[in-house]
Amino acid sequence: MRGFAYSRPGTLSDILDRLAEDTEARPLAGGMTLLPTLKQRLSAPSELVDLAGVPLLAEIEEDEGELVIGAMATHASVAASPLVNQLLPGLARLARHIGDAQVRNRGTIGGSVANNDPAADYPAALLASGAAVVTDRRELPADDFFTGLFDTALEPGELVLSVRFPLNRRLAYAKFRHPISGYAMAGVCVAGDADAWRVAVTGAGPGVFRLHDLEVRLSDRLDARAAETVDIPPGELISDFHAPSLYRAQLVRVMAGQAIAELIAPSGSTAG
């Protein structure tokens, strides 16, 4: 790890000032991706601006018909939040199965969203539920925020403050975990209401994407069998030594079926 300066400002404006003053400075949330990246010298920021000094950034609240989760809310706190479990239980279940217990105690929703790892779980939930990412400058719909492999619409120095999930929707997520790393080889999130369902896929492609073909098939009614024959362009999927794209396509169909089945007949806290 190369050397860097460290600060933990006590106010949001001080955080933003430091990021604006030095374009080589990076915000530090839970560090679950950033610190390993620094160890590998894939990144060498001049300064880490720790967001932990502003507790407001970790709050979870209901606001104007939306569930607002602060960027610094850890996966463990989202999983345990009574509000999330009441308003969007599928999201709490998703958070409960990210990484492992120790990682969930440090990793944050803001970090996950800003990093946009192609196998991260949260981006699928944001995209399927039509959530918005709130930054210090604007509010971006998930459809516009996630732009590709480890890429987002964030500008230099722009900071994710919270994620806003619309309510009165249901959400279910199913993933096939790589047996060693635990990362999703295919994760499918289905969210919506009786009028319209959106389907987002993570882990299988170079970035999270919507499965429009399945969304159309679900427009009449929720039917897990609709996923069995869904058309997935193989060119959109990753092919590597873990799994060829055809195998990933099949995983996507099976995980989509599981997520839909969960929406039809919720299995409670054992689902995931």
Where along the sequence are the contacts to other proteins (CB under 8 A)? 1-6, 8, 28, 31-32, 35-36, 38-39, 46, 48, 50, 52, 76, 99-103, 105-106, 182
Nearer to other proteins, 98 or 232 (CB): 98
Kindly state the smallest distance separating residue 105's Cβ from other proteins, in Å. Answer: 4
Kindly state the smallest distance separating residue 15's Cβ from other proteins, in Å. Answer: 15
Kindly state the smallest distance separating residue 260's Cβ from other proteins, in Å. Answer: 25
Give 42-106 as a DSSP string. S---SEEEEGGG-GGGG-EEEETTEEEEETT-BHHHHHH-HHHHHH-HHHHHHHHTSS-HHHHHH
Kindly state the smallest distance separating residue 240's Cβ from other proteins, in Å. Answer: 19
Task: Kindly state the greatest CA–CA separation across the chain.
Answer: 57
Residue indicated by tokens 């989202």:
78
Nearer to other proteins, 80 or 254 (CB): 80
Give 6-20 as a DSSP string. EE--SSHHHHHHHHH
Residue indicated by tokens 């399945």:
214
Nearer to other proteins, 35 or 254 (CB): 35
